[in-house]
A = this chain, B = another copy of it.
Amino acid sequence: MTLEYLSQNRAFDGDQFVLSHHSDATGTEMTFSVYVPPHLPGVKLPVLWYLSGLTCTHANVTEKGEYRRACAEHGIVFVAPDTSPRGEDVPDAPDEYDFGKGAGFYVDATQDPWSRHYRMRSYLEIELPQVVASEFPVDLSRQAITGHSMGGHGALTIGLRDPARFRSISAFSPIVSPSRVPWGEKALSRYLGDDRDAWRAYDAVALIEDGARHDHILVDQGTADQFLEEQLKTGALSLACAKAGMSPEIRMQEGYDHSYYFISSFMADHIAWHAARLG
């Protein structure tokens, strides 16, 4: 496995890297960013995974997420993967911003022609952690995960499926139940087929209904978010958690929208909250 360093920039006395590598999971070149905070030689650091939303790459949060100060303060490595496989031979739906490239929905697709490359679940659950740990000083016994919108969906589902891996899960304006909203129904039906039972592993609310549990969940959701009512449905997560006896912190943030102006406003809060759980 060869990692190519695309850029390295000093920031907050640490280093912001952008790298690419050939992924066995997706069969494509994959790009991701890693921020390594200042640290003593030989120390291994906890890692926070950040999954991005529709249309994004690693670059959006890397440029606009305002996470480096808090990661430097708390000594946390921050990894931002891409949102789908990329490349000329990867099938796409170029006229659709919410499907295909930039919209991998963090699934392992089972339907043609998507199943060959759209394997973001395997990429994030199996391959990328090993790639990152082989190159950077991370302690894989201390992981946390967060994300925005489609990436909030990714963080919640990946985290709920493997609570032993992730000490804490947070999300900014997540799609909490893709099975019951237009973005999700479109993506899951085409990536996974019409059998809705196969969707449940990719739906945070369904996972909780089916018995998944986590004691450390934080969600921030803006009240002025244009997607709240139709696509995000934060209330469905609150309800499922209440029925399951879980007590997540779900905070409605007055006047905030769906943008990185919202994410950056609360990023340091999330990092401090994860840091308290990562030890």
Chain A residues in the interface with B (C-beta under 8 A): 9-13, 16, 63-64, 66, 68-69, 222, 224, 255-257, 259-262, 264-265, 268
Contact partners of A256 in chain B: CB under 8 A: 10
Q: Tell whether, in the assembled complex, residue A255 and residue B69 are in contact, meaning their CB atoms are under 8 Å apart.
A: no
Cβ 8 A contact of A11, one of B12, B16, B69, B261: B261
Q: How far is the CA of A16 from the CA of B222 in the complex (A)?
A: 15
Main SS at interface, chain A: mixed
Q: Are B11 and A265 in contact (CB under 8 A)?
A: yes
**A9 and B69 within 8 A (CB):** no
- B261 & A9 in contact (Cβ 8 Å cutoff): yes
Most central of A11, A264, A268 by chain B CB within 10 Å: A11
Contacts of A255 in B (CB 8 A): 10
Q: Across the interface, name the chain B residue whose C-beta is closest to A12.
A: B265
In the assembled complex, the CB of A176 is this many whole angstroms from the nearest CB of chain B, namely 22
21 A-B pairs within 8 Å (CB atoms) are namely A9-B257, A9-B261, A9-B262, A10-B222, A10-B224, A10-B257, A10-B261, A10-B262, A10-B265, A11-B262, A11-B265, A12-B265, A13-B265, A16-B261, A63-B63, A63-B64, A63-B260, A64-B64, A66-B69, A68-B264, A68-B265
Query: Cβ of A63: which chain B residues have Cβ within 8 Å of it?
Result: 63-64, 260
- Chain B nearest CB from A223 CB (Å) reads 9
